[in-house]
């Protein structure tokens, strides 16, 4: 089992969203699934993450 997308911190300290799946599963439906998960992740987390960032400055 694996996550189709997750939020990570890159080497510069920036937040990034990374989508991934096994190459063997690559087809139009899997890309659609990953894009849907990324979209949902952005919609659910963008405002709270921005709010947290401004609270720390």
| Tens digits of residue pLDDT in 1-57 | 578 899 999 999 888 999 888 999 999 999 999 999 999 999 999 999 889 888 876
Rounded to two decimals, the pTM is: 0.73
The two structure tokens encoding residue 15: 């937040």
The two structure tokens encoding residue 22: 């096994």
End-to-end CA distance of the chain: 38
* Domain definitions of the chain by residue range: 5-55
């Amino acid at each position: 089992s694996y996550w189709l997308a997750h939020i990570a911190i890159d080497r510069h300290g920036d937040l990034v969203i990374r989508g991934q799946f096994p190459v063997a599963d690559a087809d139009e439906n899997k890309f659609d699934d990953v894009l849907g998960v990324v979209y949902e992740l952005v919609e659910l987390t963008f405002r709270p993450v921005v709010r947290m960032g401004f609270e720390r400055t």
